């Protein structure tokens, strides 16, 4: 049975990169439909024609015979779908059901718990009050600082301490001592925390040597390099 046509609706400088990486690691053929962020770093309106939230990644799956199409949103769900339908050999899943469930956990955890404090810090790092003249910028600036101090800073540490311990327990990977979809999905928020994609560092890699080594090791994969090349050819600069 032939596989469907797979299209990744890909926004530059975004988490959509890891979907390319996942598909490359599974050696699947796919097409990329590129979109460019606007001057405010938002996705263009066209994405809303495919899904009302207008975010990327979106994965389009088209049946070659019937032409029936599905549009999938949410990175964790996209990963889960790809594993279920296109990784029959379980090369990025795990034959052990407990381990497979742990992988599922990370597919939720990445967006549900790890990403939110990073997004808070990222938005504030964009200096949202920079256009306001002093002293108007002062009060909101203080509030921002309090949110970072009382919530995101400690929360990012809490999360990274947890991940450091998990990778140490699992021989250099998140689950079961071998590469899985969890590693590829989780690489994006970790890279973001360490200053990779957006250039703002929210945690010092030196304080997390196990995670740092894990990330560097992941980036040596051929699939990473090929996905990077494709992302670059479609407008991404990281
Ligand atoms: N939870 C969603 C988040 C999707 C998301 O926010 N994507 C960002 C790119 S990293 C986006 O499309 N941002 C543009 C915008 O919101 O205008 C997922 O995991 O796919």
Distance CA 45, CA 27 (A): 31
Helix (H) / strand (E) containing 35: strand 31-35
Q: How far apart are the first and last CA of the chain?
A: 36
pTM of the model: 0.93
Ligand 1 neighbour 24 (Cβ under 6 A): no
Residue 66, phi then psi, degrees to nearest 5: -90, -15
Task: List pLDDT tens digits, range 78-112.
Answer: 999 999 999 999 999 999 999 999 999 999 999 99
Residue scoring higher pLDDT (70 or 133): 70
Domain boundaries, the chain: 5-92+225-233, 97-221
Ligand 1 midpoint to CA 112 (Å): 13
Task: List pLDDT tens digits, range 5-35.
Answer: 999 999 999 999 999 999 999 999 999 999 9
The pLDDT score that the predictor gives to residue 112 is 97
What's the burial of 149, exposed, middle or buried (CB within 10 Å: 0-12/13-18/19+)? exposed
The residue whose C-alpha atom lies closest to atom 9 belonging to ligand 1 is 14
Class of domain 97-221: mainly alpha
Fold exhibited by the domain 5-92+225-233: Glutaredoxin (3.40.30)
pLDDT(130) > 70: no
Distances (CA, A) of 213 to 64, 119, 219, 226: 41, 24, 10, 21
pLDDT(147) > 90: no
Inter-residue contact 57 to 15 (CB < 8 Å): yes
Ligand 1 neighbour 74 (Cβ under 6 A): yes
Inter-residue contact 20 to 230 (CB < 8 Å): yes
Number of other CB atoms surrounding residue 38 within 10 Å: 10
Ligand 1 neighbour 155 (Cβ under 6 A): no
Which numbered atom of ligand 1 lies nearest the CA of 73?
Answer: 20
DSSP assignments along 149-179, one per residue = IIIIHHHHHHHHHHHHHHHHHTTTSSSTTS-
């Amino acid at each position: 049975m032939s596989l469907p046509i797979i299209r990744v609706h890909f926004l530059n400088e975004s988490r959509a990169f890891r979907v390319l990486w996942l598909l490359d690691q599974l050696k699947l053929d796919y097409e990329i439909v590129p979109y460019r962020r606007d001057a405010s770093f938002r996705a263009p309106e066209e994405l809303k024609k495919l899904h009302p939230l207008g975010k990327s990644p979106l994965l389009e799956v088209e049946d070659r015979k019937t032409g029936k199409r599905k549009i999938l949103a949410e990175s964790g769900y996209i990963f889960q779908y790809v594993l279920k339908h296109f990784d029959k050999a379980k090369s990025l899943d795990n034959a052990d059901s407990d381990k497979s469930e742990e992988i599922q956990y990370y597919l939720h955890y990445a967006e549900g718990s790890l990403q939110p404090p990073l997004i808070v810090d990222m938005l504030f790092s964009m200096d949202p009050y920079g256009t306001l003249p002093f002293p108007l910028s002062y009060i909101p600036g203080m509030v921002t600082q309090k949110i970072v101090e009382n919530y995101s800073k400690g929360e990012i540490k809490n999360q990274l301490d947890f991940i450091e311990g998990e990778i140490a327990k699992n021989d250099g990977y998140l689950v079961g001592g071998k590469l899985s979809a969890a590693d590829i999905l989780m690489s994006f928020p970790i890279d973001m925390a360490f200053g990779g994609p957006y250039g703002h560092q929210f945690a010092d890699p030196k304080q997390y040597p196990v995670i740092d080594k894990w990330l560097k090791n992941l980036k040596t994969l051929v699939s990473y390099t090929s996905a990077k090349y494709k992302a670059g050819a479609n407008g991404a600069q990281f």
